[in-house]
Amino acid sequence: MKVAHIGIAVKDLAVSIPLFEKLLSSPCYKTESVATEKVNTAFFRQGETKIELLESADPEGVIAKYLEKKGEGIHHIAFEVPDIEAEMARLSAEGFTLLHNSPKPGADNKWVCFLHPRDTGGVLVELCMERNDSPHA
């Protein structure tokens, strides 16, 4: 596994994109809305790792609730895997709780699955794999 991206919850992309462009000395190369997760995202590249800013698109969404509890900051770390279904099966067999029974479409043309933070030392972990037609394609 390699680190694919670090997700950072922000209140307002319009404020955070220019801030991170200055901080990283790198332009935002892509913004995207992910309806299934009720988020708007912005991506930056830093070497082989990406930084993903996450803004809630819904006041009842998971990012809105996260911001209400914890404020802005690191939300999750994502690991790129070659076979997401095999990795989900492996981690489930190791006792980790998957937040999804099967991979679902995520931002940046990825299949994604999250692991429950109670099993990962309080860190929300995302598994991701480049999307084709299906997660096992």
Provide the pLDDT for residue 115. Answer: 98
**135 lies in some domain:** no
Angle at 47 between CA 43 and CA 51, to 5 degrees: 25
Number of helices (H) and strands (E) in the chain: give both, helices first: 3, 8
Q: How many residues does the chain have?
A: 137
Residue range 6-19: mean pLDDT, rounded: 98
User: Is 17 among the domain residues?
Assistant: yes
Domain for residue 136, yes or no?
no
Domain count, the chain: 1
Question: Is this prediction's pTM over 0.85?
Answer: yes
φ, ψ for residue 89, nearest 5 deg? -65, -45
pLDDT digits (tens, 9 = 90+) for 71-105: 999 999 999 999 999 999 999 999 999 999 999 99
Q: For residue 57, give its domain range.
A: 2-130
Nearest Cα to Cα of residue 41 among 52, 49, 29: 52
The per-residue pLDDT for range 13-69, each reduced to its tens digit, is 999 999 999 999 999 999 999 998 899 999 999 999 999 999 999 999 999 999 999
User: What is the chain's Cα-based Rg?
Assistant: 15
Closest by alpha carbon to 98, among 76, 127, 69? 127
CATH code: domain of residue 21: 3.10.180.10
Angle CA 69–70–73, to nearest 5: 145
- Does the residue 63 lie in any domain? yes
